[in-house]
Each structure stands twice: as C-alpha cells, then as structure tokens.
Chain A
Amino acid sequence: MKIKTFRRIAQTATLIAIFLIPLLNVFELYFIKGTFYSMDIGDAAIADPLAVFQSMLASGTINPYMIGSLIIPIALMLLLGRVWCSWFCPYYFIAEMMEKLRKLMRMKPFKPQYTDSYPHKQAKYRYLFLLVGLLVMSVIGVPILNLISAPGIISSQALVLVKFGYVTFELVFVAVLVFLELFYYRWWCRLFCPTGTFLSFFRMKRGMTVRKVADECSNCLTCVRTCPMMINPMTMGESGHCNNCGDCVDACPDNRKKDTLKFTFR
C-alpha cells in the first residue's frame, strides 16, 4: 500500500472534521471543539504553537494554559516530524488537488530549477518572512500572523459557515493563495507559510525521518523530482523542510527490490 493512500484518508477525514466539529457543536455535543488555531479533544488542549508564541510575545506573559496546550503539538512534532502539514493541513490537501487540476488542464507551473543550493535559498525566504511577520506583530501587539494562517482561516470559516451561515472576507485571502498555486509550484507552503515554518523549529533528528537506508541506489533522482518541498530526500530528510509526506518513499523505484529510501526512527 502506498503511503499516499493513508495520507489521503487522513486528509479527507480532516476535511470532513472541519465541518463535522461545528455541526456536532450545533447539536450540543461538545467533546471536540475549536478550529485549527486551537482545539480540544475531551480535556486535552491543542494549540497552534505559533499562535501561542505570538500571544506570549505580544502580552509578555506566559501562563500554564498556554504551556498546557503546547504539549501535544510539540510532542507530536518531535516524534513524527511535520506530519501536521502533509497529513492534516487542509490547505496542503487543497494545494495537492490544485496540482491534479493543473495536470488535467495541462498547465505548466513555474517550478524553479533544483540545485544543491536551492533548499537553503528557499529556507532563507521562509525564515525571513516569519521574522518580519513576528517583528510587525510585536510592534502592533496583536497576534496578526494568525490572520494569514491558511489552515486556521479555512477551519474557522467552516465554523462560521456551519454555525452562523455566512463567510467572511478572510476566505478571499485563501482563495487567492489557492489560485496562485496554479501558477507557481507550491509557493505558499515552500516559501511563506509562517505556521509551517514555526513548526519546523521543533524538528528533531531522532523523530520519524526519511533516510536513504541502502548504501547505494540507482541515483535516478526521482525522489528529488517528486519532493513537493523541493529538497533532496536522500540527504535532507532531517531538515525542517521535510514534512514527512512520504511521496519520495512512494516514488523511489529501488524500494521495490530492496529498502532504499524509507521512514526511519533513530
């Protein structure tokens, strides 16, 4: 079975959950509640680490409620890497669908040439964007990076749609991002998204990572071409950019003969 199949199941389930959770709440079932900014399942609180970090920064305080809601996402991050992005984030799912649509329409997006230095260049963009965002945020003193968090917007719009029956202007922002996906290959997740960038700080080498376990492979570079984050899966699996989507593991032709490119825990 392909990893992608499991991933699609998880993504579809998340997409359904976005609408199901507010619907359950409308019917007065409050077991799960919240959006992708912050959510709780029973008594376990989960919050977007960037959102909580922003409110720490803006208010200059740290309280136990903040810490409490950070434990689960950070533990997940350390253990399984950035699975949030590729397995659950609704924006990622939509972006992948857009890619399918683009292939259907035979459009060629702008995809930069892969070179060995390219991953570092794109990393600089991401970190710079996050840094500038955090600076602007601290000047204003309001957690404004939440306003451009794609998964948060999508889920909170689903909430207002289900609960109050309207959508707000924020949805246009997401629509623009999605539309641009048609023209520039995976631009938001690779170069800008502050949520994903902040998550990648909690990447640990010991957690789940893609590694080349065989000493040699046919060096076809299929994995490099498939990687949606435009890194080299053979060497850079443990970097913060890899979101553990497993597309490279699926694509590697050598895997069929013997384990070459695999998820490992070390």
Chain B
Amino acid sequence: MRNKFTEMFENLLNSNPFKNYFKKNRLRPPGAVDEEMFMELCIRCARCIEVCPYDSIRRADLYEKLQIGTPYVFPDDKACYLCMRCMKVCPTGALNPRLTEGQDVRMGLAVINQDTCLNFKYYKDEMEGVSMSGTAQLCSTCYNVCPYTDSAIVLEKFILPVITDKCTGCGICAEKCPSTPKKSIVIYPEGMPIEEKAGFYGRKHRVQAQDEKKPEGALHGEELLNQKQKIDGSDAKPDFEYNMELYETKDEWQNQ
C-alpha cells in the first residue's frame, strides 16, 4: 500500500544524513566478489579508493554499520569509468585482480524507469498522436554514453532504450540521465542479493526490472546496423487512406 505517507517516510529516510543506508544504491567496485565474501575479505585499506582516478569509489561511514571503511560506488553521483585499476591493488583479493576486460565487469544491472524516461514518454506521446504536455523530447543520453552501446543497451524501435544482460553496471548511464526530478535509471547492485541491502530505493525499481528485462530478440551490433541501413523510403508505399472528399464529389456538390 503506497500512499502519500509512505512516500514521505521514504523521502525522509532518503534525505536523513545519518541514514545513508537507506539512501544509497551502493555498488561494490568492479571485480568485487559476492557481498558476503567481500565483507570477509576486505580489510578496509582504502587502496582502491586512492587509486581510482575519477574519485568514483567512496568510503562507507560508521552509519552504515559494519560496512564502515569499505569501498562503494554510488553511480548516481559518480559512475565507474571501467579503467580497471582498482582490482589490481587489492591486497586480499576482495576485488578479483584477474579481471582485466571492462566488458566482463558485472557490478550491477541498470534498470530504466519507463514512466519517467524521456524517450519512453516521447514514444507514448507519439502513439497517442498528440503531445499532451507539449514537452516530449528525445533524449537517448544513456544509449550514447554507455561504453558498450548496442550490446549493453539497445534502442528498441529505434527509440526505446533497453538494457541487456551485457550491462556491466558501471552506471555511466545513471550518472548522465538528465530526467528530473529523479533519474530514470537506477543501477541495482550485483553483489547484494539480499533485497534489504539495496535499500528502499533499489527495491522499488527491482520490481520493474523483472517484467522489463527482455534482452532476447533485441537487435544489436552488426544486426542493428543492417536493420538501420534497410530503412529506405524510396519504394515503400504509404498505407494510410486519404480522408478528404474526392474531386468528383466536390463537383457534384457544386452542381447541386
């Protein structure tokens, strides 16, 4: 039962400075072993935090219970740019140093909120024929910024961004998504299988993820390129009907 009150409560928790725990969809840095093992292995040495050239990795605070001192990435503010440096410095193997290819990283999975995504809105407006608000605009930012465009994220119907299982969870799309007041993409963490750990914010979107993830059948790469090249208006016949009166009838009317 969601109502105004629960929403207010959630917002309160999300904005309380002492409760980062509820606020953040935190990801572990790339290459992190699964969360339980990670908590056992990570000695909180902060080497990964120091080496990250983009300041993507943060250090968890005391408020976050025993997580204190462990590294995390909060992609809404600063995504991971997959430079693959942090896993090489980890002294205990909490981040797997054998990972060298950016595309093998699975930090999380991006989930697009279809109600607020500008492209989805645009599509809906187009389907209905009229732009109700007059503000529909095409965005596709996420598609453009993703380091694995056309494999991690594809445009269905050439307009609707859809995440596939190639998504690394780097969160660049989430960082750059321009929709307001809330970003239309959340990354939900891979290493945190227990729902509570991702906080309210993550749980809300996870529900959508289930009926939204349909990577099969989506075109990407070479296939998509071919498909795009096939678009050609020269010999295609428009299949709509004229709904205006023909000339003869007009004459008839004039004759009357």
Closest residue of chain A to B65, judged by CB? A142
B37 near A142: Cβ-Cβ < 8 Å: no
CA distance A131 to B136 in the complex (A): 65
With A58-B41, A142-B39 as given contacts, are A63 and B50 in contact (CB-CB < 8 Å)? no
CA distance A30 to B83 in the complex (A): 14
B46 near A144: Cβ-Cβ < 8 Å: no
CA distance A39 to B97 in the complex (A): 16
B45 near A34: Cβ-Cβ < 8 Å: yes
CA distance A147 to B69 in the complex (A): 8
Q: Which residues of A contact B49 (CB under 8 A)?
A: 159, 163
A55 near B69: Cβ-Cβ < 8 Å: no
Closest residue of chain B to A54, judged by CB? B43
B90 touches A (CB below 8 Å): yes
A156 near B61: Cβ-Cβ < 8 Å: no
CA distance A40 to B51 in the complex (A): 11
With A25-B51, A30-B51, A59-B37 as given contacts, are A37 and B45 in contact (CB-CB < 8 Å)? yes
With A142-B39, A142-B66 as given contacts, are A66 and B92 in contact (CB-CB < 8 Å)? yes
B39 near A40: Cβ-Cβ < 8 Å: no
With A25-B51, A51-B45, A156-B44 as given contacts, are A38 and B91 in contact (CB-CB < 8 Å)? yes
B42 touches A (CB below 8 Å): yes
Q: Which residues of A contact B55 (CB under 8 A)?
A: 163
With A52-B91, A63-B93, A163-B55 as given contacts, are A142 and B46 in contact (CB-CB < 8 Å)? no
Main SS of chain A's interface residues? helix
Q: Which residues of A contact B41 (CB under 8 A)?
A: 55, 58-59
B138 touches A (CB below 8 Å): no
B91 near A146: Cβ-Cβ < 8 Å: no
Contact-residue size bin, chain A (C-beta under 8 Å from the other chain) = 35 or more
Closest residue of chain B to A47, judged by CB? B91
B68 touches A (CB below 8 Å): yes
B19 touches A (CB below 8 Å): no
B89 touches A (CB below 8 Å): yes
B12 touches A (CB below 8 Å): no
B47 near A39: Cβ-Cβ < 8 Å: yes
Contact-residue size bin, chain B (C-beta under 8 Å from the other chain) = 20 to 34
Task: Choose from B61, B89, B94 the contact partner of A168 (Cβ within 8 Å).
Answer: B61
With A40-B47, A163-B50 as given contacts, are A45 and B91 in contact (CB-CB < 8 Å)? yes
Closest residue of chain A to B43, judged by CB? A51
CA distance A25 to B39 in the complex (A): 26
Question: Considering the complex, which residues of chain B in the window 174-194 have a beta carbon less than 8 Å from any beta carbon of chain A?
Answer: none
A159 near B40: Cβ-Cβ < 8 Å: no
CA distance A160 to B45 in the complex (A): 12
Shortest Cβ distance from residue B11 to the other chain A in the assembled complex, whole angstroms: 24
B221 touches A (CB below 8 Å): no
A170 near B62: Cβ-Cβ < 8 Å: yes
Q: Mark A134-171, 1 if CB is under 8 A from B, else 0.
A: 00000011111011000010001001100110001110
B46 near A37: Cβ-Cβ < 8 Å: yes
CA distance A37 to B69 in the complex (A): 11
CA distance A108 to B232 in the complex (A): 93
Question: Considering the complex, which residues of chain B in the window 222-237 have a beta carbon less than 8 Å from any beta carbon of chain A?
Answer: none
CA distance A127 to B41 in the complex (A): 24
Q: Which residues of B contact A144 (CB under 8 A)?
A: 66
A28 touches B (CB below 8 Å): yes
Task: Please list 22 pairs of residues, one from A and one from B, whose beta carbons are closer than 8 Å in the complex, sorted by A's number.
Answer: A30-B51, A33-B89, A37-B44, A37-B45, A37-B46, A38-B47, A40-B89, A47-B45, A52-B43, A55-B41, A55-B43, A142-B40, A143-B40, A143-B43, A146-B44, A152-B44, A152-B45, A156-B46, A160-B59, A163-B55, A168-B59, A168-B68
Q: Top 4 A-B pairs ranked by shortest CB distance? A: A38-B45, A37-B45, A58-B40, A51-B43
